[in-house]
Amino acid sequence: MRYKVILEYDGTKFEGWQSQPSGKGVQDIVEKALAAFNPETPRTAVAGRTDAGVHALGQVISVDIARELTPNKLCDAMNAHMRYQPVVAIKAEIVDEKFSARFNAKKRYYRYVVLNRRMPPALLENRVWHLPQKLGMAAMENAAVQLVGPHDFTSFRSSVCQAKNPVRTLSEFTITARDDQIWFECSARAFLHHQVRNMVGTLVEIGRGRRPPDDIPRIIAARDRAEAGITAPPGGLYFVGVDY
């Protein structure tokens, strides 16, 4: 049976989603749990390969299981074998054998959380980017709108990004103040390596007044990573979910 499973995890202690020689990839933990009640180690397909330190609220995998289990039993079995890890299977369903969590994804959602207050976090360490200086919301909102649509995002991707085509279509980019937090939320069919963190880092520089809000078109046109802002730290980034 092929299953679609939604995962939640704290990425702080992991070296990203992908399996690592050290065994410290989220994939290593998930597949080890699946192997505990299967004759062979199942291989997972994942909607988005998160980087080291990045969290997930609704990561999606697809996997073939040799045993026929109800969705709840599958989650229970996985969670029993991941109980000492910050990874939880929160929902599962049986899907068509042709379904792929990666290739059938139509839109992926990310959220970046900034804690914008003078005092540092006690409970949210490694889960937000703490910025004590007040950020200009209007300037960042005006700049974010200019990122929406199809663009060559070369200026916003990592130098080690392996994507052959740097053009991506950003469906939306909203910035919302929530008490002392600022949420940067965006969606697209696919993203480049570090694209979200580089966009947020650039918008923060605009919010600090270090760049003008209308700098985005120039940065995009430059097709040069050096022209964009800093890379936001990984702890504030969350993989929120996927549309299929």
Q: Just list the catalytic residues.
A: 51
Q: Which DSSP helix (H) or strand (E) runs through 57?
A: strand 55-64
Going by their DSSP bridges, the two strands 55-64 and 45-46 should be labelled as antiparallel
Phi, psi of 73, rounded to the nearest 5 degrees: -65, -35
Phi, psi of 213, rounded to the nearest 5 degrees: -60, -25
CA nearest to 166, candidates 188, 138, 144: 188
CB 9 within 8 A of CB 86: yes
CB 156 within 8 A of CB 199: yes
CB 50 within 8 A of CB 239: yes
The SS3 call for residue 168 is: strand
Distance (Å) of CA 82 to CA 16, 50, 162:
17, 19, 31
Tokens standing for residue 165: 């085509």
Query: Which residues sit opposite 175 in a β-bridge?
Result: 184
The C-alpha atoms of residue 119 and residue 180 are separated, in whole angstroms, by: 10
